[in-house]
Amino acid sequence: QQQVKQSPQSLIVQKGGISIINCAYENTAFDYFPWYQQFPGKGPALLIAIRPDVSEKKEGRFTISFNKSAKQFSLHIMDSQPGDSATYFCAASKKAGTALIFGKGTTLSVSS
């Protein structure tokens, strides 16, 4: 049972374009939704996170859009750069102090 479904598995975007990664969840008890960025050989790094009481959160070129009724959330990377090439994971947790449930990851490649 996959509690957090992430798509696409891989994504190729031109430099300057918009990268969009989608996630869907089933458990309505989830109330924290972070995105992590992982480079090869490194641990995941927290990128941006959102709670279900807001529909959008923006930090620099990164935006999370959240649709509570559809149980979906997405990461948008504006003006994508080659340095953004990495694997991105969405995740969810029920409350503070509980484990993160991760999506399978999306490998993003930004071509110059």
Would strands 72-77 and 45-50 be described as parallel, antiparallel, or unpaired? unpaired
Residue 17 or 32: the one with the smaller Cβ distance to another protein is 32
Distance of alpha carbon 45 from alpha carbon 38, whole angstroms: 6
Residue 61 or 104: the one with the smaller Cβ distance to another protein is 104
Any contact of residue 78 with another protein (CB under 8 A)? Answer: no
Any contact of residue 40 with another protein (CB under 8 A)? Answer: no
Question: Of 45, 38, 7, which Cα lies nearest the Cα of 25?
Answer: 7
> Smallest distance from the beta carbon of 108 to another protein, in angstroms?
16
Distance of alpha carbon 30 from alpha carbon 4, whole angstroms: 10
Any contact of residue 54 with another protein (CB under 8 A)? Answer: no
Q: How many residues bind another protein (CB under 8 A)?
A: 24
Any contact of residue 14 with another protein (CB under 8 A)? Answer: no
Residue 42 or 112: the one with the smaller Cβ distance to another protein is 42
Contact footprint for another protein (CB under 8 A): 32, 34, 36, 41-46, 49, 89, 91, 93, 95-105
